[in-house]
Amino acid sequence: MKSLILGGVRSGKSRYAAELARAQGLPVTLIATAKILDEEMAARIETHRSSRPPDWLVVEEPIRLAAALIAHSSPARMMIVECLTLWLTNLLCGEDSQALARESALLLDVFPRLSGPCVLVSNEVSFGIIPVNALARRFADEAGTLHQQLAALCDYVVLMAAGLPLTVKPPVAPPYGQAGVP
């Protein structure tokens, strides 16, 4: 099953992704896309590290997400990508002006062919006002486009609000094999 979890900051996305992983009952590979750029981001990352189970395999990959997914996909493992909007930021703010187009195309090509379950976590940024600067507008546009493309490829899409999962695209079968769960 391929899933996309969207929501605002502190909406419960990471907690919900962990619940989906527990419901699956498989070992977990977390692909972390964050870069530590300042003390506040370091603190956020440490909060996530301390809350995740110690047996999760963590792969840090801020740019080459599709390659990391290919390398770690397995029917015997659950993958969680945390998070797409940080990955987009890395691509938009990097020195390679072609990276966003190239890496996004690779992700969209690889994602449907992954051999095991995968949960993508991303911030929904389209509920606010239109940003005043060009980079922020481009970021919102790129995130919205990517979310639409990935949602079309996913079996299950959830929007988190106030810690509650709101099903946007229900799966044909119950999520991860348990009725009423996660």
Catalytic choice (44, 48, 138, 169): 48
3-state class of 124 per DSSP?
coil
Relative to beta strand 156-161, strand 164-169 is antiparallel
147 is catalytic: no
Query: Tokens 């990471």, residue?
Result: 14
Beta strands in 61-172 (DSSP E): 78-82, 118-123, 156-161, 164-169
Between CA 70 and CA 115 the distance in angstroms is 9
Closest CA to 58 of 41, 84, 26, 81: 81
Q: Rounded to whole angstroms, how far apart are CA atoms 126 and 135?
A: 15
Active site residues: 48
